[in-house]
Amino acid sequence: MQTSRKQENILAQQNKSNLTALWKRMGVTSELMSDGYTVFRSKSWPHRIWVEDNTGMAVNHCNFQLLEKHNIVPTWENQLQSHSIQIDDQPLDLLFSQTAMVLSMQGQPINTTQTIQVTEVDSDETLQHWLTIASEAFAYEIDKQVIAPLVSAQDISLLLAFSQGKPIATGLLYKTGNILGVHQIGVAKNAQGQGIARQLMYYVIEAARSLKVDFITLQASEAGLGLYRRLGFKVQFNIGNYQA
């Protein structure tokens, strides 16, 4: 599917908006600055602090007050990130990079070769499995108090994948408008390298088809970039995540 430059810009903004809206659902504080921009700060995990303009668009901004050591500052760029940046005379180092990507649902083939079983988290037991696997896969502890309220949300699905009866992978889907945002695709260490993430993405694509959305967006790590390219995702922009 060919897209115009205008549509590409709209889709890039929708990717950012899906991500930042999810951060807000996880709990934030906000502060209106004197220049009309608003600073949003996560109350706990995922520890993000970012700025939006008066249209609600996430933007790069160099004026943060009371930047705390655990805060992670995302930058939205069309090129590779610098290894460090300066905010309020405070040096921040690049913690990790991500690549924002999008997949058009137009013409997506139906895949019937899934070898895993996927369910939605609906109990404290399955939530605990989800937290354990995701925390292990991403090598950081995910706050249960942040994730638990999302279980009952109508527009969010916490996915838990099983193989031979054992939980092995996680995902989080968040629908905003005609976009299905994909987050927290993680595979247990003892199940990595077996094509589990690909199988889970086949499920996600079929879920998007059922929801009748036009596009799927995500933010890929370096490790996942190849998989998403092979699935047909297109690169939109880079995200640098910085920390003091």
Instruction: Tell me what pLDDT residue 92 has.
Output: 84
Q: What pLDDT, on the 0 to 100 scale, is given for residue 66?
A: 62
Confidence (pLDDT) at 164: 92
- Rounded-to-5 percentages of helix, strand, coil across the chain: 30, 35, 35
Mean pLDDT of residues grouped by 10 in the chain (244 residues)? 81 96 97 88 95 88 70 81 66 91 92 87 98 96 97 97 96 98 97 95 96 97 95 96 87
Nearest residue to 73 via CA among 210, 244, 209: 244
Please report which helix (H) or strand (E) contains residue 220, including its range. Answer: strand 215-220
For residue 226, give the 3-state DSSP assignment: helix
pLDDT of residue 82: 64
Task: Please tell me the distance from the alpha carbon of residue 191 to that of residue 89, in angstroms, as a whole number.
Answer: 44
Q: Which domains does the chain possess?
A: 5-101 (no CATH), 107-213 (3.40.630.30)
DSSP H or E segment with residue 117 = strand 117-120
Query: Residue for token digits 């303009």?
Result: 53
Question: In this structure, are residues 134 and 169 in contact, taking their beta carbons and an 8 Å threshold?
Answer: no
| Residue 35 to residues 49, 53, 64, 201, 242, Cα–Cα distance (Å) | 17, 9, 12, 42, 23
Q: What distance in Å separates the CA atoms of residue 172 and residue 204, rounded to the nearest whole number?
A: 10
- Give the pLDDT confidence score for residue 84 in this predicted structure: 66
Q: What is the pLDDT of residue 89?
A: 67
What token pair was written down for 49? Answer: 């602090």
